[in-house]
Homo-oligomer: A and B are copies of this chain.
Amino acid sequence: MAGQGKPGEFEIIERYFAPLAKRTEGAFGLQDDAALFQPKPGYDLVLTKDAIVAGVHFLPTDPYDLVAQKLMRVNVSDLAAKGAEPRAYLLALAWPDGIGEKDIALFAAGLQKDQDIYGLELLGGDTVKTPGPATFSLTAIGDVPQGRMIRRAGAKPGDAVYVTGTLGDAALGLKLARGEIELSSIAERRGLIQRYRLPQPRVSVGTGLRGIASAALDVSDGLGADLLHLCTASGLRARISQSALPLSAAARKLLKQDETLWSAVLSGGDDYEIVFAAPGEAGVKLELLGGTTGVPITRIGYMEEGEPAVLLEDLSGKTAPLAEGGYRHF
């Protein structure tokens, strides 16, 4: 390969990925078989691994820096929802045959940006070729003080249910990008599309929720589906109120134009907000946390005894189980 003027595996790693690991002692410049990670005494590790495939989880025409950042952020979001601080990551990259070096460089640049934002370090991984679509996976490692990881299980009856940020923006952004709906303000249109393309994991809120939230997860499959996971794991039912759901100004406009778009708020995926339960007395602490992080934290309902389900009181005051309707991956 090298003889044909195309860089080989070792050159690709040396040129584009070794620089991402240059400050990481345990990565050994990506020159060893494995990486060394020294856990901080008194901390537990939190581990997550997600994969994305071109044509399934992103478009083959998406710029590769955004693809890399999305891959990074869906994993960082999982860590955030568990109260973990991002520390390090490993990659497995299967590049399609025709891939250009420019795209690989762009991908690495996206990773570099997010390393700097979220404070992770590249530890190692693997780079291979595939006759199929680009397929990437990332393993993210975070840590929490011992015993402080926030699980899906653990909510108690009477706990309030909260959500960070705003809901539905990503799903509406996807519809805008696809030309399925319209929005006159170019800035708002761009803002919603950006929420779809580049999630904003709520890391500072997540670490702030340690010792406050009784259960949490990130909204990746849609509020209905994800809150139901929390209910199932906790053995409880959630009651939420549609009028309480936090919306961006742009989403409000779209919902006014077409109320069927509420489905994007209730069950659209990709928001990467954190939905969590916390006892009533945590209200003041949460107000403070919202203030210090600049991320709105909104109470949307509460947990109660009952078969796991999400009951929605809609805008007309009627209550019914929220249909699952989340994105099915498989």
Contact = CB atoms under 8 A, between A and B. Distances in A.
Contacts of A124: 47-49
Contacts of A57: 128
A264 B187 CA distance: 62
Nearest to A132: B132
Given A34-B47, A45-B39, A82-B33, A328 B137 contact: no
Interface stretch (A146-154, A236-244, A284-292): A146-154
Given A126-B137, A139-B90, A328-B1, A33 B48 contact: yes
A128 B46 contact: no
Contacts of A31: 152, 229, 232-233
Interface of A: 1-2, 8-10, 12, 28, 31-39, 41, 43-53, 55-57, 78-79, 81-82, 84, 90-94, 123-133, 135, 137, 139, 141-142, 146, 149, 151-153, 217-218, 229, 232-233, 328-330
8 contacts: A2-B328, A10-B330, A31-B152, A38-B44, A47-B123, A51-B128, A56-B128, A132-B135
B151 A49 contact: no
Given A128-B57, A131-B133, A36 B45 contact: yes
Given A46-B36, A92-B49, A56 B151 contact: no
A61 B218 CA distance: 39
B53 A44 contact: no
B48 A34 contact: yes
Contact of A32 (B1, B137, B233): B233
A51 B92 contact: yes
B330 A129 contact: yes
Contacts of A34: 46-48, 78-79, 81-82, 84, 142, 149
Contacts of A12: 330
A11 to B, nearest CB: 8
Contacts of A137: 51, 92, 126, 137
Given A37-B46, A38-B45, A49-B92, 12 more contacts: A28-B151, A28-B152, A34-B47, A34-B78, A35-B48, A38-B44, A38-B146, A39-B43, A39-B44, A51-B94, A51-B126, A92-B137
Nearest to A217: B33
